[in-house]
């Protein structure tokens, strides 16, 4: 399987637009945050419109909560023949970021499309090979739920043979498919022997994840987490980020805070396997959102991602308790986060 990693949002957009511009048959596009304010440098609306006018099948799904698309842009796309759907499900969002071109190239990762994000550090992987069929099948599932009816897409909404190889596609549709992200993270952290390396922009871990990370550190596993020093969007994430950093730092877990906003979502375990995708290390990603990614044992990919993480660490500062004063209302914050987690779990039981 061939792949390529992009670590800057702007470079990832370049690659996505290049692939779209060279599409000959089909474009399948699913995005959590899509804003039409990037036209001065990366005009996704116009190029999707042009490809549809040229006869390419263009299917687009935007999350109705996360995306900001003007009526004018919607009209442009639909008038050109783009099938544009919005994911609207009560109290859930599709947090996924997926682009599939001509049924043989797929892009997966943490990249959203909005001018604010243009200079962010992030991770996106471009993949080719049999794994792309599994990505299409996953897209078809969301497409069907949004009301899509084109048999060209729906023919993929079926069970596929088990993947074989060193890179697998992972989809996470709580509560319908048994919380695959939760199981993966729990199992891999519990089995880690030497090192766990995580990058995430937002850090509000579930109780079980806090417990697993503490246990790993206690048995001598080196746990390192790369995060932004200041989360610029949304800024309120800094409350949970610093609260949990302060809470886990005393248990030997090391945090590296990048000077620039970092939005990548990745975990490497013992430098032998890992996961990369759209998921944050927070309750919402694990118990609420629709997510997607890949997990892998491909040694070259692990080596490349590990080097990327090391470069981010070199350009960061280690977290110190001095960065955050102990607040009198910390117990209240912990209570609120606990209530939020239990509320999400209760909601999942109601919707199972």
List the CATH number of the domain containing 257: 3.30.870.10
Distance CA 198, CA 282 (A): 12
Stretch 26-36: mean pLDDT, rounded?
A: 98
Query: How far out from the chain centre does Cα 38 lie?
Result: 20
Cα 168 to Cα 62, 236, 264, 346, distances in angstroms: 25, 34, 19, 31
Residue 91 scores a pLDDT above 90: no
Stretch 164-171: mean pLDDT, rounded?
A: 87
Query: Is residue 42 one of the residues assigned to a domain?
Result: yes
Q: Give me the number of domains the chain comprises.
A: 2
Q: Which residues are CB-neighbours of 170 under 8 A, at least 6 positions away?
A: 180, 181, 184, 275, 277, 292, 293, 294, 295
Residue 326 scores a pLDDT above 80: no
- Domain shared by 250 and 151, yes or no: no
DSSP 48-71: HHHHHHTT-EEEEEEETTT-B--H
- Domain shared by 338 and 271, yes or no: yes
pLDDT band at 345 (very low <50, low <70, confident <90, very high): confident
- Domain shared by 156 and 244, yes or no: no
Q: Which residue segment(s) compose the domain that 107 sits in?
A: 2-164
- Domain shared by 187 and 133, yes or no: no
- Give the chain's count of helices (H) and strands (E): 11, 17
pLDDT of the residue at 350: 75
């Amino acid at each position: 399987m061939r792949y390529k990693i992009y670590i800057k949002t702007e470079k990832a957009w370049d690659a996505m637009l290049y692939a779209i511009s060279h599409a000959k048959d089909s474009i399948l596009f699913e995005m959590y945050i899509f804003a039409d304010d990037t036209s001065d440098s990366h005009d996704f609306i116009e190029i999707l419109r042009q490809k549809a006018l040229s006869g390419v099948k263009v299917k687009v799904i935007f999350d109705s909560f996360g995306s900001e698309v003007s009526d004018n842009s919607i009209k442009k796309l639909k008038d050109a023949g783009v099938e544009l759907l919005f994911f609207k499900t009560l109290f859930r969002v599709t947090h996924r970021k997926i682009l599939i071109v001509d049924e043989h190239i797929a892009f997966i990762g943490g990249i959203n499309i909005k001018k604010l994000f243009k200079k962010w550090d992030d991770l996106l992987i471009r993949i080719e090979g049999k794994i792309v069929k599994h990505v299409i099948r996953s897209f078809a599932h969301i497409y069907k739920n949004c009301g899509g009816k084109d048999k060209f897409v729906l023919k993929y909404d079926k069970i596929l043979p088990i993947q074989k190889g060193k890179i697998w596609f992972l989809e996470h549709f709580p509560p319908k498919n048994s919380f695959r992200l939760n199981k993966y993270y729990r199992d891999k952290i519990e089995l880690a022997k030497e090192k766990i390396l995580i990058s995430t922009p937002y850090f509000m871990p579930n109780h079980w994840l806090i417990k697993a990370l503490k246990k790993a550190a206690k048995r001598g596993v080196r746990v390192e987490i790369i995060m932004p020093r200041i989360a610029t969007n949304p800024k309120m994430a800094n409350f949970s980020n610093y609260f949990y950093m302060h809470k886990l730092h005393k248990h030997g877990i090391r945090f590296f805070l990048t000077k620039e906003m970092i939005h990548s979502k990745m975990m490497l375990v013992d430098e032998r396997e890992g996961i990369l995708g759209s998921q944050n290390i927070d309750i919402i990603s694990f118990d609420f959102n629709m997510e997607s990614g890949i997990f892998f044992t491909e040694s070259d990919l692990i080596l490349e991602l590990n080097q990327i993480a090391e470069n981010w660490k070199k350009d960061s500062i280690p977290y110190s308790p001095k960065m955050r004063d102990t607040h009198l209302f910390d117990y209240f914050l912990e209570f609120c986060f606990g209530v939020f987690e239990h509320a999400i779990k209760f909601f999942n039981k109601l919707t199972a």
